[in-house]
Structure 1
Amino acid sequence: MADGQQDRGHTGRWTRRLYGALGILMLVLGIIGILLPVMPTTIFLILAAACFGRASPRWEAYLLQHPQFGPPIVAWREQGAISARGKAFAVLGIAIGLAVFWYTVDPVWWLGALVSIGMAGCAIWLLARPTPRTS
């Protein structure tokens, strides 16, 4: 076997392992998000499914077919859509986070304005995403 072929196979194996490890990390963060109201869940599960898609088709299929977590992941993949409930929770979390920031940090005006603009931009982007179409 040529050296280039050995390197590609070796790299492929390590790449799959890296994606698998990242998938597990994202899955753990998603599970933590289920338990902690201030931590998101769906985005970490979307990232976990993307990582598992490159590392383990079995784990990817498990997430996509999960009765609770599968529909938001599939809606994002197929339509770039976020449910109205998901948007509401995300924007509420952003608003609470911004309020806590202003209450606890007492930043200089330009830093506070920059953080506020960034968080408002995220909220606007979330609200601009379509809601899932039912088929």
Structure 2
Amino acid sequence: MKKLFYLIVGCISLVIGVAGIVLPIVPTTPLLLLAGFCFARSSKKFDVWLRNSKIYDFYVADYAETKSIAKERKKKMIWQIYLLMGISIYFAPLLPIKFMLVVLTVFITYYLFKVIPDK
């Protein structure tokens, strides 16, 4: 029963995390970390599959293994974030939502460059 619970939570977090690649408000990396945590406790097959996937390697592997991200990788990530957040801010229908998206973008930038150490 416990393994089934972890498998279901892992699959859900994987799907939402993958959606977060194109949806700027959905956090991709934490959800992929959660999926890895759940798969490690539920299914060796899913755990190996996730760790060998390009998505895991691109978004999670550095941080999961070293608790740091290379500076060049951070620069690539921030441009993607700025592009997607810029599109979201442009199309947001209400001024308070636009403001909240700008604040979120500033927070993400701060967290990425000041809280997460460079590799």
TM-score of Structure 1 vs Structure 2, range by shorter chain? 0.5 to 0.7
Structure 2 Cα separation of the partners of residues 31 and 114 of structure 1: 23
What amino acid is the match of 1:75? D
Question: Cα offset for 1:27?
Answer: 2.3
Q: What is the DSSP-based 3-state SS (H/G/I as helix, E as strand, rest coil) of the residue aligned with 1:69?
A: helix
- CA, structure 1 residues 41+64, in 2 after alignment: closer, same or farther (shift >3 Å)? farther
Identical pairs, percent: 21
- Asked whether the 8 Å contact 1:27–1:48 carries over to 2, the reply is yes
- Residues 1:60 and 2:47 aligned together: yes
Structure 1, 18-27 or 122-131: larger mean CA deviation: 122-131
Report the count of equivalent residues: 111
Rg larger in structure: 1
Identify if the C-alpha distance between structure 1 residues 33 and 116 changes in structure 2 by more than 3 Å, giving closer, same or farther.
closer
- Is residue 91–residue 123 contact of structure 1 (8 Å, CA) maintained in 2? no
Which deviates more from structure 2 when the two are superposed, residues 111-120 or residues 91-100? 111-120
- String of CA shifts for 1:62-121, please: whole Å, max 9, x gaps: 11122x2242322121123442323321233233333433xx1133xxx76555334311
| Match in the other structure for 1:125 | 111
- Offset at residue 21 of structure 1 (A): 0.2
Moved more, 86-95 or 57-66: 86-95
Match of 1:28 in 2: 15
1:18 Cα deviation after fit: 1.4
Normalising by structure 2, we get a TM-score of 0.66
Higher relative contact order (CA 8 A, sep 6+): 2
Matching residue of 1:106: 95
Residues 45 and 113 (structure 1 numbering): CA distance in 2 closer, same or farther, change over 3 Å?
closer
Counterpart of 1:28 in structure 2: which amino acid?
V
Residue 18 of structure 2 contacts residue 28 of structure 2 at CA under 8 Å; is this kept in 1? no
Name structure 1 gaps, 5 residues minimum.
1-13
CA distance in 2, matches of 1:86, 1:112: 21
Give unpaired runs (5+ residues) of structure 2.
none
